[in-house]
């Protein structure tokens, strides 16, 4: 059975990592570096998702929560692009 605590830990951890990198590219980093950081976090998360499938249920709960965090971050990123395009 999935554990809500581990689910929330995964959610906040992944969302927090992407917030630190910058859901939309911040002024503190170039676009090239931002793309590298975002891609690295995404690939590491993909490895974690794959590993959790084969390991134990606690990791699977965290991976599902992290997946939600990733989807929320991508949705925020996409909405930001839509807002920028609407302003043009």
Total number of domains in the chain: 1
Residue that wins the pLDDT comparison between 20 and 24: 20
Quick check: is 8 in a domain?
no
Say if CB 77 and CB 23 are below 8 A apart: yes
Give the residue numbers spanning the domain of 52. Answer: 29-88
The pTM assigned to this predicted structure is 0.81
61-88 pLDDT, tens digit per residue, is 899 999 999 999 999 988 988 888 888 7
% of the chain surpassing 70 pLDDT: 93
CA 8, 55, 21, 72 torsion: positive or negative?
A: negative
Helix (H) or strand (E) holding 88: none
Say if CB 20 and CB 69 are below 8 A apart: no
Quick check: is 17 in a domain?
no
Quick check: is 50 in a domain?
yes
Residue that wins the pLDDT comparison between 31 and 8: 8
């Amino acid at each position: 059975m999935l554990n809500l605590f581990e689910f929330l830990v995964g959610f906040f951890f992944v969302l927090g990592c992407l917030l630190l990198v910058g859901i939309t590219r911040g002024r503190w980093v170039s676009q090239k570096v931002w793309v590298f950081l975002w891609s690295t976090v995404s690939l590491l998360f993909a490895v974690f998702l794959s590993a959790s499938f084969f390991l134990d249920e606690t990791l699977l709960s965290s991976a599902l929560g992290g997946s939600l965090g990733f989807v929320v971050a991508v949705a925020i990123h996409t909405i930001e692009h839509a807002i920028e395009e609407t302003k043009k």
